[in-house]
Amino acid sequence: MPYAHVTAQLPAVKGETAPWCERFGSAHRGYFFAIRNPGPAVDLTLTLNRESLGIKTARFAAVTGCKIKTSTPDHITLSVPARWTAVVAVNRGDAEGLAKTHDLEMSR
């Protein structure tokens, strides 16, 4: 169980699967959330259950495939392209470096 859920700002088009997420990591080292957008480009909101995740505060960072629009202590709203998987880091000190490396590799 990821102890998080994803919702779309727009309803899913008939026949499309709803967005979803998977969690990797731990409270001690930080988390990564892979967020899948199976539909058209849309804003998605990732909402965390911080208590179940064992964290007091969440520091979000976009690693790949998305742009942060807004965030609060419990959720983040992201702009995610159509049929794309984004990765968001939570409480990871290496997130900025990973995002820069990803951008560099994508530019090659």
- Collapsing DSSP states into helix, strand and coil, what is residue 102? helix
Q: What is the chain's mean pLDDT, rounded? A: 89
Give the residue with greater pLDDT, 97 vs 77: 77
**Is residue 20 within 8 Å of residue 6, measured between CB atoms?**
yes
- Judging by beta carbons within 10 Å of its beta carbon (0-12, 13-18, 19+), is residue 14 exposed, middle or buried? exposed
In the chain, what are the domain boundaries?
4-107
pLDDT of residue 101: 81
Element (H, E) at 107: helix 95-107
Residue 3 has pLDDT above 90, yes or no: yes
| Fold (topology level) of 4-107 | Immunoglobulin-like (2.60.40)
pLDDT in tens, 63-84: 988 999 999 989 999 999 999 9
pLDDT of residue 65: 86
Amino acid (1-letter code) at residue 43:
D
pLDDT of residue 108: 80
Residue 91 has pLDDT above 90, yes or no: yes
Query: pTM above the 0.95 mark?
Result: no
Residue 12 has pLDDT above 80, yes or no: no
